[in-house]
Structure formats: structure tokens, C-alpha cells
Amino acid sequence: MKLYSGPVSLFSRKVEIALYEKGLAFERIEVVFSQTRGYSPKHPDVLALNPKGQVPVLVDGDLSLYDSTVILEYLEDAHPEPALYPKAPRERARCRLFDLFADEIMLAPLRFLMHRTEPKPEDLGRWEAKEMKARGAEPVIAGHFAELDRELHGRDYLCGAFSAADIAVFMTVFWARRLGGPSLKGHDNLAAWYARLSMRLAFARIVSEILAADAELSAPVAGAFRE
Ligand SMILES: N[C@@H](CCC(=O)N[C@@H](CS)C(=O)NCC(=O)O)C(=O)O
């Protein structure tokens, strides 16, 4: 299998964790990314294989897939063990809903923090206007943390056993922390879950690769990974 991936692409890295958790070999093809030009110029294969022109793209023989969620579901169907989704329909649906919650609901306020890894523009006023919006988004992110903390009460993982839900939600919580978002303080269940996942080899590997990529590509973020 081949995976087109970005060095600091949340969705590509989500797929990489799933591939490592399933013990599947893959060739990683890194696309161009910079904090000033984003993904431009786009990789020609990505443009040919994904009408959205986005990473991740997975190629498995003559099958090519885009969208991290579709890719995770394919990996589960093609390589059922170790399982990343519960078998029972209700739990499986809950697991998918967490994935959607992470990728769409949690990501919405996170987008307002994304300028923080970019170099500051000459016109500081523009940056400060973005910061105002980021500060407005932080309580929404804190609210999501509180909601997840309640979900994790009395549980080690979001959907019974470790699952794709944990991968997707971990990535957005990690992204919020990387971008100087709210602390996990006071959310003991969420903090314990985050620490539990951080110890898994696949997660530790991807976190350290993203941090290494940030050291090379991104502006330092004040308050990143605040306690
Ligand atoms: N829903 C898609 C989102 C993919 C996505 O937003 N990819 C970003 C990188 S994390 C990208 O390629 N952005 C470039 C663009 O949108 O032009 C997924 O889950 O894979």
C-alpha cells in the first residue's frame, strides 16, 4: 500500500496511526507542505486520485481511496484483525459518530487556531484579528473537552475496547494542545485517556514525527501543550 501524507496533516497522520495499530506495511509518500504556501504546488498523483486534491490518499493495488474515515473503514474491512471498530451495530455506530464528532465538530473551532503555526505577517493587525477569533473559539474547544471527559467517566476508551474513535478524537485533542488550545487540567478522565493513548507505540511514533516536523516547518506556538 502507498499513502500520500503530509508532515503536519491531522487526517494523514490519523490514517498512519491506524496502519501502525493494524501492523500493516505501507510506503509513505510525503507531499510538499509549508506554512506559507500550504499544500501548493499539489502533488500530481494527489490531484489525479482525489477530486478534492487533499491528503490522505491510500493506494492499494488498483484501488485508490481518499478521506481518512473511508480509508479507516476500508482497512478494517480488508484487515479485520486487530479490530479498530466494535462488532455490535450500536457500538459500531457510536464509534463512527465519535470519528465524525472529531473530524467535523471538534475541528470547526480548531480551525481558528491554525494561524498560530504560521509565521507572523508584517501587518500585525491582521494576526491580532485572527487571535481574537481564536480566543473566541477556545471556550468551545474547552466545552468539547468537558463533554469528552464526561464520556470517559468509568471508561478506558471511548467505545469499550480501543477503537478508531480513540484515534480520531486523540488527533483533534492533540491538535488543540499543539495549537496552544485549552489545558486538560480539571478533566481527569480525558487527561488519563490522553496519557494512556500517548503510551501506545503507534501514537508515540506519530506524535514525535509531528513534533519533529513542526520544529522544521512551523512557528513556535505560545502555550502549546500547556499543563
Ligand atoms: N475529510 C478529509 C479532510 C482531508 C484534509 O482536510 N486534508 C488536508 C490536510 S490535513 C489537505 O489536504 N488540505 C489541502 C487542501 O484542502 O487543499 C479526510 O478526513 O481525509
Mutating to test ligand 1, I would choose from 8, 16, 40, 55 the residue with most ligand atoms within 8 A of its C-beta, which is 55
What is the separation, in whole angstroms, between the first and last Cα of the chain? 38
pLDDT in the model for residue 43: 98
pLDDT in 10s for each residue of the chain, 227 residues: 999 999 999 999 999 999 999 999 999 999 999 999 999 999 999 999 999 999 999 999 999 999 999 999 999 999 999 999 999 999 999 999 999 999 999 999 999 999 999 999 899 999 999 999 999 999 999 999 999 999 999 999 999 999 999 999 999 999 999 999 999 999 999 999 999 999 999 999 999 999 999 999 999 999 999 99
Q: Has this prediction a pTM greater than 0.85? A: yes
User: 2-78 with 89-217: one CATH topology?
Assistant: no
pLDDT in the model for residue 69: 98
Those residues whose C-beta lies under 8 Å from the C-beta of residue 53, and which sit 6 or more positions away, are 39, 42, 46, 47
Residue nearest to atom 15 of ligand 1 (CA): 54
- DSSP secondary structure string for all residues of 120-132: PPS-HHHHHHHHH
Domain 89-217: give its CATH architecture: Up-down Bundle (1.20)
57 Cα to the center of ligand 1, angstroms: 10
> Contact 147/139 with Cβ under 8 angstroms?
no
Those residues whose C-beta lies under 8 Å from the C-beta of residue 67, and which sit 6 or more positions away, are 11
> Contact 62/17 with Cβ under 8 angstroms?
no
CA distance to 71, 87, 199, per residue, from 226 (Å): 32, 37, 19
- CATH top-level class of 2-78: alpha beta
Residue 149 near ligand 1, beta carbon < 6 Å: no
66 Cα to the center of ligand 1, angstroms: 9
Domain locations along the chain: 2-78, 89-217
For residues 30 and 12, what is the distance between their CA atoms, to the nearest angstrom? 10
72 Cα to the center of ligand 1, angstroms: 15
